[in-house]
Structure 1
Amino acid sequence: MSRIIIVANQKGGVGKTTTSINLAASLAVMEKNVLVVDCDPQANASSGVGIYQDDVQASTYSVLLDPSSARDAIQKTSIPYLSIIPAHQDLVAAELELVSKPAREYFLREALLPLKDEYDFIIIDCPPSLGLLTLNAMCVGEEVLIPLQCEYFALEGIAKLLQTYGLVRRRLNPGIRLLGVVLTMYDARNRLSRQVRNEIRNTLPEHLLETIVPRNIRLSEAPSFGKPVVGYDIKSKGAEAYLQLAKEVVLRRPQA
């Protein structure tokens, strides 16, 4: 059964794009057919799998303007089973161009639903904001995965995201569910990391995933080579964590 997963957190620097591309690549290693949709104008998910803006003809921006063009925007990556609809910096203009259109929250939904049965997983990488691009993702997505950096301010941001999720579920997409919270950039030697883990465990016990992504130099290096970590150093701690996360996601079902 095909699953559409939104990777979202309005706070930047929490490992959102890292989680999007490495979860997608790890699922692809498991021979799941995966499509990444890059909804961030920074296009880091695209460059993270080796697709650069100079090589992009059709992008998420063109798909939002013309949902029927989604199939033309799909590009293969160097990893078997992994494809992407890349982003371009033009995506910055999408929120302004869509804001006056009727049913502006559903353009991405119109684009992706015809493709759904062709993939086991569609992973949507959202921008670090709660604007119209993230709203479009939430209106097509079925499951929300929240990467959470193990720092104090990250805890403050998650409350706003959960409010938005609740609003979308009540008014726009009643089928959406919370897949879970995954802790990223975890350092077991750091007391704050342990405190954040314990706080989330106490406040959202049913939503905290077992997999914890550690701070890992190979994980940080991989994007500069245009590769997910499983294609850069599959034996690294970062690769091991995302392969474990992929296994957990395959078995896990979202909750209300």
Structure 2
Amino acid sequence: MVRSDSAVTGPPGRRYYGEVTVGEPRLSEDGRLEVGEDIADDGTGKPGPTGRPMPVFPVPDALTSHGPAWVVAMCNQKGGVGKTTSTINLGAALAEYGRRVLLVDFDPQGALSVGLGINPMQFEVTVHDLLLGGDVDIQDTIVETQVENLDLLPSNIDLSAAEVLLVTEVGREHSLARTLAPIMDVYDVILIDCQPSLGLLTVNALTAADAVIVPLECEYFALRGVALLLQTIDKVRERLNSRLELAGILATMYDARTLHAREVLARVVERFPDEVFHTVINRTVRFPETTVAGEPITTYAPTSVGAAGYRRLARELMARYATPPAVG
């Protein structure tokens, strides 16, 4: 390591485990997130940004042990939709809830590392070396971040060569899965920040993953590539990774003041009613500031709307995928 309860019905097709109430999370006077009810006159939840009743997802219980890791690929072939921002801040929010989280920088640009205040060019060994099967221990490659429970597997521009070098390798699509295998019992969640393409590196991420989150900017042109991405996910599921599922589509950079953003979000929910998260990430100037600061929004601006959004997303994910209680 390097330093630097019973099922509850959610939206159609979804099952939530544990207690899920209706309403909006609120911040208490001391800045902690707490649950507050927001009930309509008919007893249902008032509509959230997606137009559906907004549940409140409970703060998860503390874990008594860690692992095996649940692997999630943050994927969209379109750039600038909030993949890296969402990877960093969702990871930090999960870590805040006591989960051990590993962030995998799987983009040669190294933006994930930079977003955590880490210079990716300082490392002699990165995920690139692990993929190519060198005599490298992944534990010696992982970097501790300044956030408790949050670690990083860094990359840099060297990763751009891996896609070419892996082409001739046997089982090339499983290279990342083999790389992560030794540390699966160390972490609770592994988040992979994919590059904006549908090439071999992204296929590797999908083959290693249990689930995919698709960040989608609330802008018309962002919609156009979603169908192609979902086709790719289906092909990987059929041919390489039968356990792969779509965790959800995450609306990002949402500005409720603009008609365009509201219309785009409505179209996404209409087209993918069961796949869109209740949580929507609002556009805020805080996100560019956190990139300059090199830290997650949950620590840079912990009481901000952006921090609350990613905490809500973390709780929604854990509510969706928590292990149901044993029967008998």
The interval holding the TM-score normalised by the smaller chain is: over 0.9
Find the partner of 1:30 among 80, 97, 111. Answer: 97
Structure 1 or 2, whichever has the larger Rg, is 2
Q: Is the 8 A contact 1:219 1:239 kept in 2?
A: no
Alignment equivalent of 2:287, drawn from 214, 219, 234: 219
Cα deviation code 1:168-206 (max 9, x no counterpart): 000010110110001000000111111111111111111
1:146 paired with 2:237, answer: no
Whole-angstrom CA distance in 1 between matches of 2:166 and 2:137: 16
Query: Partners of 1:56 and 1:244 in 2: how far apart?
Result: 34
Q: Separation in 2 of the partners of 1:151 and 1:225?
A: 27
Structure whose residues are more often helix by fraction: 1
Looking at structure 2, the residues matched to 236 and 125 of structure 1 have their Cα atoms a distance apart, in angstroms, of 24
2:42 corresponds to which residue? none
Measure, in 2, the Cα distance between the counterparts of 1:219 and 1:242: 12
**Number of residue-to-residue matches in the alignment:** 254
Verify the 8 A CA contact 1:62 1:69 in the aligned structure 2.
no
Q: Secondary structure at the match of 1:211?
A: strand
Unaligned runs of 5+ in 2: 1-67, 323-328
Amino acid at match of 1:4: V
The equivalent residue for 2:253 is: 185
TM-score, structure 2 as length reference = 0.75
Distance 1:69 1:168 in 2: 28
Query: Please, what TM-score do these two structures have when normalized by structure 1?
Result: 0.96
Query: In structure 2, the residue corresponding to 1:252 is in which secondary structure?
Result: helix
SS at match of 1:99: helix
How many Å apart are 1:114 and its aligned residue? 2.0
Structure 2 CA distance for aligned equivalents of residues 30 and 223 of structure 1: 22
Matches within 5 A, 1:136-215: 136-215=204-283
What secondary structure, in the 3-state scheme, does the structure 1 residue paired with 2:104 have?
strand
Match in the other structure for 2:139: 71
What is the identity, as a one-letter code, of the residue corresponding to 2:74? V
Deviation at residue 253 of structure 1 after TM alignment: 3.0
Question: How far off is 1:252 after superposition?
Answer: 1.3
> Of 26, 43, 46, which aligns to 2:113?
46
RMSD: 1.3
* Residues in 2 aligned to 1:244 and 1:227: alpha-carbon distance in whole angstroms: 19
Identity of aligned residues (%): 43
Among 192, 212, 229, the residue aligned to 2:297: 229
Contact 1:144–1:179 (Cα < 8 Å) also in 2: yes
Contact 1:75 1:84 in 2 (8 A): yes
Q: Does 1:11 pair with 2:88?
A: no
Equivalent position amino acid for 1:18 in 2:
T
| Distance apart, 1:53 and its partner CA | 1.9
